[in-house]
Structure 1
Amino acid sequence: MSQTLTLGPETLHALPSGALWWPARRVLAVSDLHLGKSARLARRGGALLPPYETRATLERLEADIAATRPAGVICLGDSFDDTAAAGALEEDAMLWLARLMAGRDWTWIEGNHDPGPIALAGTHRASLTLGALTFRHIADPAQRHEVSGHYHPKARLAGQARPCFLADAARIILPAYGAYTGGLWSHDPALTGLMQPGALAVLTGPKARAIPMPR
């Protein structure tokens, strides 16, 4: 049900959930979980949303970890909706995260919503290079063989909008993994300026489906 992608010398799999699986390294990458978004909105006087997004996101992550059994997990930034949210998760969510992290090499990449280290176990980095691939939050146009997030790309197929991966020979941009996250259309200039002609959009859902990137 996944879509196979090639980035440099590596073969990766875009999963229907929005996670990226690198079997050669047994690494699972996810981006933009935005845990604690409903609490952050309530704290700042914004829209009141049902506070279920953390549970929904952790359930999805737990399922992907159970399916792939990764040795390492890379969270590509904006894992929390702000730095206060990282310290305000309910105890059961913190224990859930701790169970998922146990025995794994877990890396938190800094994002624009959660800059700097947070008070959680794991390794905290601005970016991470493993072999030929570099993982960071926001794409660097000068970088090749890069995996990033940040933009929450989405595209439409048969009249239905879905979060999507964007992939070309230079980079893969992951969709937002968390519940309650919006999206940026793939035809937005911010994305068309980053992605090469011939790029693919891999839509998430029951099955990962690849289409030419809508421009």
Structure 2
Amino acid sequence: MWLDSRGALWHPGSRWLAEADLHYGYQLTMRRAGGLFPQWGMGDIRTRLQALIRHYQPEKLILAGDIMDSSGSAEETLTLLAALQPQVPHLICLEGNHERPALLKRWTFHRWHREDGDYLFHHGHNPQEVLDCPKATADAALQITGHWHPAVTLNDGAGTSMKLPALIQQKSPKRRSQSSNTPLDHWILPAFSPWARGGRLPAPGEKVRQEIWACHQRRVFAVG
């Protein structure tokens, strides 16, 4: 698999492209609450999505939850999904904690998705519900989620710093669920929304090996 610096995960063999946490319409939510937010963000999301689709020409586009930001952006999110659907053979939308009935009743969403037998996609806001489902986890080796908006802050020690979205790779020796003793590795996708890049890194559990990959414009690099 390849991590694209634009915030997407690409599998060249199976030709699927995955992103999480678009939070489409975030600035609309903030402006309705009285915030002085510019009308920027949705255009950036559309531009990067279109560029990624043109570049990779995926068979499947997997949007791993929190596609919309709130019920106030339902119409805009529906318009986005309707525009994406003809561009890929399969558009797979997963339900996150920000999806609202205004969108869920008018578009098909799934709680989880399996790909290539090994990969289990879900948003990550209610992991135990998914991990305790034998149909979801059977023979899976890796769960890929969003939700956390992982980011890292780099500084030069003299007052200059920058925060970058990141992919987290966690390898755990612990059992995946109450019904299985097989470890299930966990990758956490960077947030695709330019407004959502800055969450705290989830604390790794005991004996979990963790690697962090930061995304900066056209470059991806490992962070110690």
TM-score by length of structure 1 reads 0.79
Asked if the contact 2:163/2:198 (under 8 Å) is kept, the reply is no
What is the aligned partner in structure 2 of residue 192 from structure 1? 203
* Distance in 2 between residues matched to 1:72 and 1:80, nearest whole Å: 19
Query: Letter of the aligned partner of 1:50 in structure 2?
Result: P
Note if 1:101 corresponds to 2:103.
Answer: no
Query: Letter of the aligned partner of 2:36 in structure 1?
Result: L
* Distance in 2 between residues matched to 1:197 and 1:156, nearest whole Å: 21
Runs of 4+ in structure 1 deviating by more than 6 angstroms, as ranges, are none
Query: Letter of the aligned partner of 2:57 in structure 1?
Result: R
Give 1:1-215 correspondences, 5 Å limit. Answer: 12-43=1-32, 45-87=33-75, 89=76, 94=79, 97-102=81-86, 103-115=88-100, 117-120=104-107, 123-130=108-115, 131-138=117-124, 140=127, 144-158=141-155, 159-169=161-171, 170-186=185-201, 191-194=202-205, 197-205=208-216, 206-212=218-224
Query: Letter of the aligned partner of 1:208 in structure 2?
Result: V
Q: CA deviation at 1:197?
A: 3.9
Unaligned runs of 5+ in 2: 132-136, 156-160, 172-184
Query: Letter of the aligned partner of 2:165 in structure 1?
Result: P
Asked if the contact 2:68/2:98 (under 8 Å) is kept, the reply is yes
- Judging changes above 3 Å, is the alpha-carbon distance between structure 1 residues 115 and 23 closer, same or farther for their aligned structure 2 residues? farther
Structure with max Cα Rg: 2
Q: CA RMSD in A?
A: 2.3
* Distance in 2 between residues matched to 1:180 and 1:136, nearest whole Å: 21
Deviations 1:2-36 (A, max 9, x none): xxxxxxxxxx1111011011122111000000011
Q: CA deviation at 1:196?
A: 5.5
Asked if the contact 1:168/1:196 (under 8 Å) is kept, the reply is no
TM-score by length of structure 2 reads 0.76
Query: Letter of the aligned partner of 1:152 in structure 2?
Result: H
Unaligned runs of 5+ in 1: 1-11
